[in-house]
Amino acid sequence: MSINKESIVDIEGVVRKVPQKIGGCTQQDVELHVQKIYVISLAEPRLPLQLDDAVRPEVEGDEEGRATVNQDTRLDNRVIDLRLKLWL
């Protein structure tokens, strides 16, 4: 089973020290070894806006075909947009 982005999950696991620090994480000396994962609420496979697209600034013309999210879409999906602001 694959879990879609933005789904809500509960995870059971064991926290273990790592021999080498993990770069790019706030907790660099430990990692979570997942034993069980429970999907509490599965998100739709395709959300009305993707967080990766929403953080991309709007520019004139096409930027290599990359999607951007306009203000109408943000306002129509305000709950997801507010999550974006917490994510940043």
Domain locations in the chain?
8-41, 51-87
Which pLDDT value is given to residue 43?
A: 82
Which residues pair with residue 37 across a beta bridge? 11
* pLDDT computed for residue 66 by the predictor: 64
pLDDT tens digits, one per residue of 12-64: 999 999 999 998 888 899 999 999 999 999 887 777 776 667 666 666 555 56
Largest CA distance in the chain: 48
Q: What is the pLDDT of residue 65?
A: 62
Between 68 and 16, where is the model more confident? 16
Residue 86 pLDDT class (50, 70, 90 cuts): low
State how far Cα 24 lies from the chain centre: 16
CA–CA gap between residue 53 and residue 83 (Å, rounded): 14
Residue 21's Cα: distance from chain center in Å?
23
